[in-house]
Amino acid sequence: MVATAPIARPGILDIAAYVPGESKVPGGLSPAKLSSNETPLGPSPKAIDAFKAAAAELERYPDGQATLLREAIARRYGLDAARIVCGSGSDELLGLLARGYLGPGDEAIYTAHGFLVYRIAILTNGATPVVVPERDLKTDVDAILAAVTPKTRMVFIANPNNPTGTYIPIEEVRRLRAGLRSDVLLVLDAAYSEYVSRNDYEAGIELVATTPNTVMTRTFSKIYGLAALRIGWAYCPPEIADVLNRIRGPFNLSSPAIAAGAAAIADIEHMERAKRHNDQWLPWVESELKKLGLAVTPSVANFVLMHFPEGRDKTASGADEYLKSQGIIVRKVGAYGFPNALRMTIGSESENKRAIDALARYLKGAA
């Protein structure tokens, strides 16, 4: 009998592994890391204290229900804690939703420049990804509805979207929900919702509360500054929360993560300070990039997508290499369909100015 190697399930080898934003630069320079949409203000001091206090009982298993964290989230937003499911980042929750509701023969829809994890989650579970075009780099509700087939089981939209920073109003989200069959699960990825200051925007809490087939996911990795702890949460209809709780790991959040997350979401002042910082520096960065002759996609999040002129010798790839040589790390977004664009996180005042100055030198021929 000839020995053969184990064979992965169909669809697995079609996955392009997710590549995180870079975090190191050559030459031992102190990096300005503007590649992963992390907050420059760091976590709440109260979250740090809670994290340290949890170190006293590291020999104990964590609460498998993450009760402290779920109840803190519920208090913050006036929600039913029983409908909140916590996970190791919102990435885990997106994967669990796909695992619970997708399989071979099913289709799931996401938009052309949507988060790469959606495709990974779909293919991992043997389903077929269906990619629809966007309109002006925004989610196009009509394009999604036109792509629905009898095989469609799920629709993912990020609102705001990463890496474009664009959003669609809640009325458009409601129109999407109303246009989908009742057996199609709509997943609203609201990782950047805390940064949005638009009267026509809602993250999706009301829609989840009033429909049996919509889920909203959120994260503590962005405005709360707890990316290292991997904390996400989903607000779900009761039946969907039940499914996720059946298939998630029994201890999928550590005790330090639960404690820090609960303290972070209760520290509203720290979160609002992070938002005020972004409100100040996002328009400044966008304006300065435009002065340099770069096109900028209007953003409501904590990052900007800058586009380099086509056919010029100053390219996104060249800019990325030059910035790294200056100790500045931004995000290449070719995998998202933007081969001549870069995404830049809004950093501290000094990081923002350092990045703009370096880009100016590059565009003027310094490299």
DSSP string for residues in 172-218: HHHHHHHHS-TTSEEEEE-TTGGG---TT---SHHHHHH-SSEEEEE
Q: Which residues of 15-24 are buried (b: 16+ CB within 10 A; e: fewer)?
A: eeeeeebbee
Range of the domain at 181: 45-266
- Given this model, what pLDDT does residue 16 score? 81
* 207 and 67 fall within a common domain: yes
Q: Is residue 12 part of a domain?
A: no
- Give residue 264's pLDDT band: very low, low, confident or very high (50, 70, 90): very high
Q: Is residue 161 part of a domain?
A: yes
Q: Which residue has better confidence, 312 or 36?
A: 36
Domain boundary among 266, 286, 308: 266
- Given this model, what pLDDT does residue 27 score? 66
DSSP 21: P
Q: Is residue 51 part of a domain?
A: yes
* 255 and 274 fall within a common domain: no
- Give residue 311's pLDDT band: very low, low, confident or very high (50, 70, 90): confident
- Given this model, what pLDDT does residue 18 score? 76
Domain boundary among 238, 266, 294: 266
Please give the average per-residue pLDDT across 230-253, as a whole number: 97
* 314 and 248 fall within a common domain: no
In contact, 188 and 215? CB cutoff 8 Å: yes
Please give the average per-residue pLDDT across 329-351, as a whole number: 97
Total domains in the chain come to 2
User: What value does the mean pLDDT of the chain take?
Assistant: 95
Burial of 150 per CB tally in 10 Å (0-12, 13-18, 19+): exposed
**Residue type, position 113, single letter:** H
Q: Is residue 285 part of a domain?
A: yes
- Region of 33 (left: φ > 0; alpha: ψ -120 to 50; beta: rest) is beta
Q: At residue 143, does pLDDT exceed 80? A: yes
Question: pLDDT per residue over 119-129, tens digit each?
Answer: 999 999 999 99
- Give residue 3's pLDDT band: very low, low, confident or very high (50, 70, 90): low
* 235 and 331 fall within a common domain: no
- Given this model, what pLDDT does residue 93 score? 98
Q: Report the Cα–Cα distance between both ends of the chain, in Å, rounded.
A: 60
Indicate the SS3 state at residue 317. helix
CATH number at residue 304: 3.90.1150.10
Q: At residue 313, does pLDDT exceed 90? A: no
Domain boundary among 233, 250, 266: 266
CATH number at residue 218: 3.40.640.10
pTM of full prediction above 0.85: yes
Question: pLDDT per residue over 66-121, tens digit each?
Answer: 999 999 999 999 999 999 999 999 999 999 999 999 999 999 999 999 999 999 99
- Given this model, what pLDDT does residue 21 score? 72
**Residue type, position 180, single letter:** L
- Given this model, what pLDDT does residue 14 score? 84
Percent above pLDDT 90 for the chain: 89
The Cα 110–Cα 116 span in angstroms is 10
- Given this model, what pLDDT does residue 13 score? 84
Question: pLDDT per residue over 16-73, tens digit each?
Answer: 877 777 767 666 677 899 999 999 999 999 999 999 999 999 999 999 999 999 999 9
Please give the average per-residue pLDDT across 295-314, as a whole number: 93
* 73 and 110 fall within a common domain: yes
Q: At residue 12, does pLDDT exceed 90? A: no
